Amino acid sequence: MVLYDVELPTRLMLGTALYPSPAIMAEAIAAADASVVTVSLRRETAGGSGTSQRFWKFLEGLKRPLLPNTAGCHSVKEAVTTAQMARELFQTDWIKLEVIGDDDTLQPDVFGLVEAARILSNEGFKVFPYMTEDLRVADRLLAAGCRVLMPWGAPIGSARGLNNVYGLRTLRSHFPDVPIIVDAGLGVPSHAAQAMELGCDGILLNTAVAKAADPVMMAEAFSKAVVSGRLGYLAGALPPRDMASPSTPIAGKPILD
């Protein structure tokens, strides 16, 4: 998977929130063979400077690319400022851009998202926009400078899977050369496999792994699901039919009187 001219070894990206402990988080990231680790600037700094420094050192020890995010931002100004702070702290131009429009569903404010994406792209950021599966929003984000699309599967943390398979399939067909990463709402490995079978390029998740009874085992399960789903897509799946199709041919069947 190539994102912003960077070749990544796997197609799974994993978050760092909600784990029972940093040690379990590190084990889960290793079990998932995650190519990228996401981190919230606000969450990372919430515990005070000492805690923040320790967590930052812990993240450095993972030896994986970091994708800071603007989680919890509700306005363009808030998201842009948070992104600028994240670039300074984490020394990366990559940013997962979130501009939240609704507190109950955590649905993106797509109008603010496009505006913030344009500002950050002009400042040299490599923007990963957390978006709905809307074609026009995708068009505007690409025009604003984004080279990756990150549609949600379902509301963050809901574990509902893919609420709009048609929307994701349409995005894939309209933008065949743009990397599409399904972000948010996945609950079980089969959800990830389904997204990959649709032709999506990767998966970003957090809650389904971090809040599992065994996060390490769940991380491994998602990793295998992503691989199997990708192989299924590349193999060319049999299209669904309304009628049965016999696997044993009728031609040559003996006729008994």
The residue annotated as part of the active site, out of 57, 96, 126, 211, is: 96
**What is the C-alpha separation between 185 and 112, in angstroms, rounded?**
21
157 is in an annotated binding site: yes
164 is in an annotated binding site: no
207 is in an annotated binding site: yes
229 is in an annotated binding site: no
232 is in an annotated binding site: no
Instruction: Examine the residue annotation and report whether 96 is marked as an active-site residue of this protein.
Output: yes
**What is the C-alpha separation between 195 and 163, in angstroms, rounded?**
11
DSSP string of the chain? Answer: -EETTEE-S-SEEEE-SS-S-HHHHHHHHHHHT-SEEEEEHHHHHTT-HHHHHHHHHHHHHT-S-EEEE-TT--SHHHHHHHHHHHHHHH--SEEEE--B--TTT--B-HHHHHHHHHHHHHTT-EEEEEE-S-HHHHHHHHHTT---BEE-SSSTT-----S-HHHHHHHHHH-TTS-BEEES---SHHHHHHHHHTT--EEEESHHHHTSSSHHHHHHHHHHHHHHHHHHHHH-PPPP-SS---SS-STT-----
Please list the active-site residues: 96
Binding residues: 157, 184-185, 206-207
Binding residues for 1-deoxy-D-xylulose 5-phosphate: 157, 184-185, 206-207
